[in-house]
Amino acid sequence: MRRKVNNRNIVGPESRYNSEKVGKLINYIMESGKKHTARTAVYMCFDVIKEKTKVADPIEVFEAALKNTAPAMEVRSRRVGGANYQVPREVRPERRQALSLKWIVEAARSKKGAPIHMKLADEIILASKNEGEAVKKRENTHKMADANKAFAHFAW
């Protein structure tokens, strides 16, 4: 049995919005260690969100997007007696947030023909309305877990 991991990297709150979730988003956007570039892109993204949605605080839209894209269930592969089964499992809160951020950033990066802050803003706005690629990804994950409910007794 695996033991608990104690050396998790704790991301502190970033300066402008004083939010740990925004700090994590900046880290997910960052490429090749260019944190300043990532921070600029995220702040520009929040300015675009504020402009497009006419909401005073873009963090509310971001929080709604995270909530709408966070999966409750996922499937994990389990080998039993020579066969692999997709066993549905509940997702821990830390992993839920990590998957949500990852799917939003992946969906934004998959779009073409616009700067990253525009693509990210569009994806966050869509996710807050329960639309977009990241929400589809969550729904597909839930469908997979639902389809494999018969193997839930293999959960460890």
Domains of the chain, residue spans: 20-154
- The answer to whether residue 78 scores a pLDDT higher than 90 is no
Q: What is the mean pLDDT of the chain?
A: 91
Classify domain 20-154 at the CATH topology level: Ribosomal Protein S7 (1.10.455)
Hey, what amino acid is at 41?
A: A
- The answer to whether residue 118 scores a pLDDT higher than 80 is yes
- pTM of the entire predicted model: 0.90
The residue among 69 and 156 whose pLDDT is bigger is 69
Hey, what amino acid is at 105?
A: V
